[in-house]
Structure 1
């Protein structure tokens, strides 16, 4: 589409993604210079529509950005009051005491929040400072300058036909140019992926690792509600099939977040992460809590889990990667929003200094230095071995050695293990189906557990059906010729929205079907497909889930 003529708009900084990282960057830029011309482009129908996070928020990030957030009325109002960890068996549980855990695992001083609502509030603060925010504007292309630097993005392209040709109502969108472009797209962003590949930003780094996080919001019996209660579990139902665990957070208004994370490095292609989540809710401690309640929302999102050793280089000429585009989640704490905010603040300060010094378009090396050597790096370095220990040694050993390693890093600033490697990517970790047994999952009962398509309706997902599918195949033959016979068609299971189907009709060869209308933009397919044949791209702006308060 390089021959399409588009109008261009010039900004000081163009920010892709209105999540905590992008909005923090926008706010900080305007704090530093009220005349700085900043635009934020958000593919969701509104700010917050595509935000899904646990979330227990460590306020250190927003403290650094806006110390007066309490006075300004931020929707951060439910402090954590109790913190419990359990190891689950199929019918029982064992409480893990809090006292042996390193201080970094303590949730005292943290808050249970809806990050969607926090981002909506942050957007209001940004707009009051003069930031332009355009929701419903998906960014479909990177624009490069004459010297190979990132110059801007293409946003707001609409009206292509399903085959990709130009439709009658085609709108070419606009080029938005900036002295710097910040990519804060979240996990596995399509533009971030291109930039990482073009500039080889991941060269010499450990492969990024991921999990799939699924979440439901429930309204429960007020008699069972404990505002400020935080519970995490490990063990059943995953056991040895995969790493992962659950979270149960009691926020206000008798609502509870019930979530489940499955690490995507699992070997057995028969693992069905969504059904593991549904089975989990039948454990007595969860079933008793949810009985008499009702589910009001559902969603899913991939999580970056590689940590310190998997962070790619974050800068290239004219561009910086922020937040989960880099991968700043502290896995044992199950927290990354504070680091996303700190990264946005650091990128803004580096860009401001570069613009003031007339160094526009160069690499923001000071940003990368601050991330790796400052508070973010310190947070992630302490826990860098927990994920590879879990992957290599299993849950029980990783709890013991991981806890010991975190204490060593906390007390002595180092680890006897050094920095452990992750090894294979999550796609490469998938083994042939012939090496594993199928897993028999109970049928959802429609009360506690639900089929995928019923649950997807509670994500309020919508895609205009006349556009090209945003899920593309490098080779259309591979799903049936390779993935089905070798891996038992894992895309039919790893997708938490039922996008992929192998359709078997009498007398015909199996057919691979992509129901892109169901997609909740989790990116799991782009990550876990063992043939790395599925490519996630942005649909037209405004499409996808419409999360109310995830």
Structure 2
């Protein structure tokens, strides 16, 4: 097949905080050194920000370094955090408000902002283009291109115009080869190319397995008299049981809007659990409902997030390429923040790449200087000092794990002389369905709680139906022959978009994949107990189209 090929100095996969910060910093340094570099960013979303989902309380530390004049440049950070409320929900109507001294200092948000990271990425893309970066939305990177010596040579964008069987239609357009001296992978959590590279180059050897959560977010318009701009609410406890980690949040943004959501650890054990329905229940708690009642839900989305922290960080360099941001799992889950850490990894990658290229490097090398830069940065210290957060919660439970983390952070600054580790795999934690209680979730009231399909509608998700399914089964029989009898096929419940169904027919049970509903959360790729599902990029600009998430 004849493919068009383009050459760049650097190709960046993903226009999120990490990828765009990489691009901006490369061009800033190139200008300082009077070096002309060609940099492009490819983004699978229909536009920059279309696939960005984040809470988000934003810490501006990395942004202050990247653009010290961000306020003059009108970065979309308008709402300063004014107060933190942290609750432990002891039941469906009861709660205990935790005093400041009883909360890990990592959870305090003075100096931070309530923000839409989708809009923040749109702003970063503008800065990148002003600096001379080429940004290509609607071009998913489908494959890694390798040189003959095994080093990364770039990426191949996806073919357009294939039918369900993968045959070219009249509208067929082959993908392009984007070749580069260095390629930066910034796909976000569980990036499918990052996953391939970690395996190929054994980047996670000697590390704890990566751990994940699924994060939900809704935007609500609420009554002005209920709105408290700048208020941040975090919760733990109900509706999750003692065996299930996670917590909820509610942030009061500008314009009488609140961002409400929930994160549920994907190491849960009961296959009957539905993360989506746990989130819908959550909104009925009086501490949350008091703000939402009478309001209007205007947006919905879901996305997996990496929460293994320091102990799960892979090596981030390999011949010809680097992993940055959530593709490597750099989120600081003790803060429930990964945007500033993602940006910093991108900036360190940029410094490493520019130093190499300015010195005459022709590409394809393993830029191990990045590792030294990372180890000498505030980012390394921040992640190291919170290394015990997730493992302590998993080993000790929400209450005692929280108590340990409060002591560790508030009194020892993260340097308590113990190293907890969690070397289990999230997908392997499911127990047989016969050993677990069935959970009967209440029907949605369509006021505070809703069903999956009406929620997906609000995510503006769209895929061309006549294309190959981007949710690949290694074995077509496993969902019915293994997962259904043993785990009651949990894909029906862990998917937050109604993609997977088991349909009863005269011929027997049938596994249905409604790929057009997929919001690209990657939960199926992570949680399937048989590790039988692989998420790959769909055609073109498919997926959600989040306006302000």
Distance 1:453 1:100 in 2: 40
2:52·2:118 contact (CA, 8 Å) conserved in 1?
yes
Match of 1:31 in 2: 28
The alpha-carbon deviation at position 232 of structure 1 amounts to 0.2
1:408·1:414 contact (CA, 8 Å) conserved in 2?
no
Alignment match of 1:16 (pick from 13, 26, 29): 13
The alpha-carbon deviation at position 416 of structure 1 amounts to 2.3
Match of 2:146 in 1: 144
Q: Any stretches of 5+ residues in structure 1 without a counterpart?
A: none
Alignment match of 1:350 (pick from 341, 344, 352): 352
Alignment match of 2:236 (pick from 234, 237, 251): 234
Distance 1:100 1:512 in 2: 47
TM-score w.r.t. length of structure 2: 0.97
The alpha-carbon deviation at position 102 of structure 1 amounts to 4.2
Alignment match of 2:398 (pick from 386, 395, 405): 395
Alignment match of 2:365 (pick from 347, 362, 367): 362
Distance 1:460 1:256 in 2: 19
Cα RMSD between the aligned structures?
1.1
Distance 2:126 2:185 in 1: 20
Distance 1:529 1:103 in 2: 35
The alpha-carbon deviation at position 54 of structure 1 amounts to 0.4
| Deviation string, structure 1 residues 511-537 (Cα, Å, up to 9, x no partner) | 000000000000000000000000000
TM-aligned CA distance change 1:422 to 1:9, over 3 Å: same
Match of 1:509 in 2: 508
The alpha-carbon deviation at position 163 of structure 1 amounts to 1.0
TM-score w.r.t. length of structure 1: 0.97
Match of 1:104 in 2: 106
Distance 2:244 2:525 in 1: 19
Distance 1:218 1:245 in 2: 19
| Deviation string, structure 1 residues 387-414 (Cα, Å, up to 9, x no partner) | 111112211110111211223541xx62
Distance 2:396 2:514 in 1: 37
2:106·2:334 contact (CA, 8 Å) conserved in 1?
no
Distance 1:40 1:408 in 2: 43
| Deviation string, structure 1 residues 488-517 (Cα, Å, up to 9, x no partner) | 110000000010000112x33110000000
SS in 2 for 1:510: strand
Match of 2:293 in 1: 291
* Larger mean Cα displacement after TM superposition, 91-100 or 24-33: 91-100
Aligned residues: 543
**Pairing of 1:58-457 with structure 2 (within 5 A):** 58-88=59-89, 89-359=91-361, 360-407=363-410, 409-410=412-413, 414-417=415-418, 419-457=419-457
The alpha-carbon deviation at position 169 of structure 1 amounts to 2.0
2:105·2:409 contact (CA, 8 Å) conserved in 1?
no
1:382·1:409 contact (CA, 8 Å) conserved in 2?
no
Match of 1:522 in 2: 521
SS in 1 for 2:217: strand
Match of 2:534 in 1: 535
The alpha-carbon deviation at position 241 of structure 1 amounts to 4.1
SS in 2 for 1:23: helix
